[in-house]
């Protein structure tokens, strides 16, 4: 326990800020918003007895400066390279940040708890394959597909998931991996539906597109622009548009060639 408003040694100060930034980093990496990161770091810092904390966060960096009672400033920054979506872990980190604010948890314990959360697993591979079949199958029906479309769409979704996780393991460039998956998706949608009556390759494609197209990021980037997180908004807008071009290029390549 760190006694409130009673931090003596310089090392403790650094460790406390480090823990706060690590919590912020985890929130961002598991899919939390930039404003949530800034808010959490500020709250944790004030619970550790800093009199003021200035936090600036965009999707790739966190910079935070905290001031002790003696007006000494400590600054730490953190580079974020990968942002995913894992709301189970996000919820746990969020709980952790609340506990820190309430109980002024020891920074070392915070770091240990973050490691524990990071080590938590996701669903097993076959289950994830089924999940990634469910999503495109649903959206194929959503846009008007029939039963045959649904089955083919789900099948392609599973295949693309396997391909994508292989590419991710090989640390492929994200844009290029999306392009490859989309190319494969467009090709499969057009060839698998060839022999089957009443199949609509466009609907099968659009179901699978929904997994890869950054629609959520695009919409959220406009929200960020409206709420004043301008830098984050512009970064996400640019990223999502470039990604959308890659996905459209991949899925459309086949039909561009043959129609």
Partner 1 sequence: MNEYLQLIAAFSGSAGFALAYNFRGKKHVLTAGLGGAAGWLCYLIVLHASGNEYLAGFAGTVLCSFYSEAAARFLRTPATGLLIVSSIPMIPGASLYRCMQHLLRSEMELFEREGAYTVLFASCMAAGFVFSGTLIHLFRSTNKKTE
**Chain residues in the site for partner 1 (CB under 8 A):** 31-33, 36, 85-91, 94, 122-123, 128, 131-132, 134-135, 137-139, 141-144, 206, 209-210, 213, 215-216, 218-220, 222-223, 225-227, 244-245, 247-249, 251-252, 256
Token pair belonging to 61? 């960096």
Choice between 144 and 198, CB closer to partner 1: 144
**Minimal distance in Å, beta carbon 26 to partner 1?**
13
Choice between 33 and 199, CB closer to partner 1: 33
**Minimal distance in Å, beta carbon 56 to partner 1?**
20
**Minimal distance in Å, beta carbon 184 to partner 1?**
16
Choice between 22 and 27, CB closer to partner 1: 27
Choice between 123 and 196, CB closer to partner 1: 123
**Minimal distance in Å, beta carbon 248 to partner 1?**
3
Q: How far apart are CA 153 and CA 142, in angstroms?
A: 12
Provide the pairing of β-strand 73-79 with 61-67.
antiparallel
- Beta bridge pairs of residue 55: 64
Residue carrying the six token digits 């998931």: 161
Choice between 33 and 38, CB closer to partner 1: 33
**Minimal distance in Å, beta carbon 75 to partner 1?**
28
């Amino acid at each position: 326990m760190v006694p409130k408003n009673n931090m003596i040694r310089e090392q403790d100060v650094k460790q406390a800020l480090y823990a706060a930034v690590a919590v912020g980093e985890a929130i961002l990496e598991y899919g939390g918003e930039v404003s949530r990161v800034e808010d959490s770091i500020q709250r944790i810092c004030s619970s550790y007895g800093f009199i003021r904390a200035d936090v600036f966060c965009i999707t790739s960096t966190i910079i935070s400066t905290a001031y002790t009672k003696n007006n000494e400033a400590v600054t730490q920054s953190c580079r974020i390279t990968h942002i995913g979506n894992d709301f189970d872990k996000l919820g746990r980190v969020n709980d952790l940040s609340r506990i820190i604010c309430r109980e002024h948890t020891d920074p070392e314990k915070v770091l240990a708890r973050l490691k524990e959360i990071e080590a938590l697993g996701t669903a097993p591979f076959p289950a994830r394959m089924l999940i990634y079949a469910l999503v495109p199958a649903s959206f194929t029906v959503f846009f008007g597909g029939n039963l045959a479309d649904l089955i083919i769409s789900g099948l392609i979704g599973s295949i693309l998931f396997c391909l994508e996780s292989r590419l991710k393991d090989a640390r492929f460039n994200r844009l290029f991996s999306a392009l490859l998956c989309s190319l494969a998706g467009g090709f499969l949608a057009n060839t698998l539906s060839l022999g089957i009556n009443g199949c609509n390759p466009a609907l099968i494609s659009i179901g699978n597109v929904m997994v890869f197209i950054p629609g959520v990021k695009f919409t959220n980037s406009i929200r960020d622009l409206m709420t004043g997180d301008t830098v984050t908004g512009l970064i996400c807008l640019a990223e999502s548009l470039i990604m959308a071009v890659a996905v459209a290029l991949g899925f459309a390549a086949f039909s561009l060639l043959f129609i």
